[in-house]
């Protein structure tokens, strides 16, 4: 009885080990067909970035160097980390009225958690998330970005 149990223990143990080896053996033979890792910098050209991927906040400008930001600071208020700082100025419109506009849209990438709350908050869709994700720099100050381009102004008709 004891010997029989002993032998069946040995047999079932060996069997379970061989089953495991069968799996890795199968993977070994299949290795050229299936790869779960990628050669990252090499496949950069063929990589597909999902359009919703959140990498960095950008402010799209059109061909006339115009953006849609009215300087309402909704994004600044929505941000949990103080990532966005908007400095406003007053433009004088052709009709002679003073109109609020952005002077500098400062974006601290190093504080950003890509939570998307600023984009949700923006009433004019002036900012959006870009799909870039390689943000490493040698100096932290390079991560403080100015999103509105030099000499840009607000697009006509955006209120």
Residues within the interface to another protein (CB under 8 A): 10, 12-13, 16-17, 19-25, 27-28, 30-31, 34-37, 39, 50, 52-54, 78-82, 113-117, 120-121, 129
Q: Which residues face 58 on adjacent strands?
A: 128
Of residues 39 and 141, the one with the C-beta less far from another protein? 39
Q: What is the 3-state secondary structure (H, E, C) of the chain?
A: CHHHHHHHHHHHHHHHHHHHHHHHHHHHHHCCCCCCCCCCHHHCCCCCCCCCCCCEEECCCCCCCEECCCCCCHHHHHCCCCCEEEEEEEEECCCCCEEEEEEEEEEEHHHCCCCCHHHHHCCCCCCEEECCCCCCCCCHHHHEEECCCCCCEECCCCC
Q: Which is nearer to another protein, 88 or 131 (CB)?
A: 131
CB of 40 to another protein, least distance (A): 11
Q: How far is the CB of 17 from another protein (least distance, A)?
A: 6
Shortest separation between residue 31's beta carbon and another protein, angstroms: 4
Query: What minimum distance in Å lies between the beta carbon of 140 and another protein?
Result: 16
| Count of all residues that appear for the chain in the document | 159
Query: Smallest gap, in angstroms, from Cβ of residue 69 to another protein?
Result: 18
Q: What are phi and psi of 84, to 5 degrees?
A: -105, 135
The nearer residue to another protein, 123 or 149, going by C-beta atoms, is 123
When the beta carbons of 60 and 80 are compared against another protein, the nearer one is: 80
């Amino acid at each position: 009885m004891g010997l029989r149990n002993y032998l069946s223990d040995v047999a079932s143990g060996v069997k379970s080990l061989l089953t495991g080896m069968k799996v890795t053996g199968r993977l070994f033979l299949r290795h050229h067909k299936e790869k779960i890792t990628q050669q990252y910098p090499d496949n950069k050209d063929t990589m597909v970035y999902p359009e919703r991927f959140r990498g960095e906040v950008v402010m799209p400008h059109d061909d006339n160097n115009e953006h849609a930001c009215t300087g309402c600071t909704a994004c600044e208020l929505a941000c949990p980390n103080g990532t966005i700082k908007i400095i406003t100025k007053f433009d004088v419109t052709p009709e002679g009225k003073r109109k609020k506009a952005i002077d500098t849209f400062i974006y601290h990438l190093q504080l950003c958690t890509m939570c998307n709350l600023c984009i949700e908050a923006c009433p004019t869709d002036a900012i959006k998330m870009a799909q870039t994700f390689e943000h490493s720099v040698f100096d932290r100050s390079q991560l403080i970005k100015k999103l509105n381009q030099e000499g840009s102004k607000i697009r006509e008709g955006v209120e």
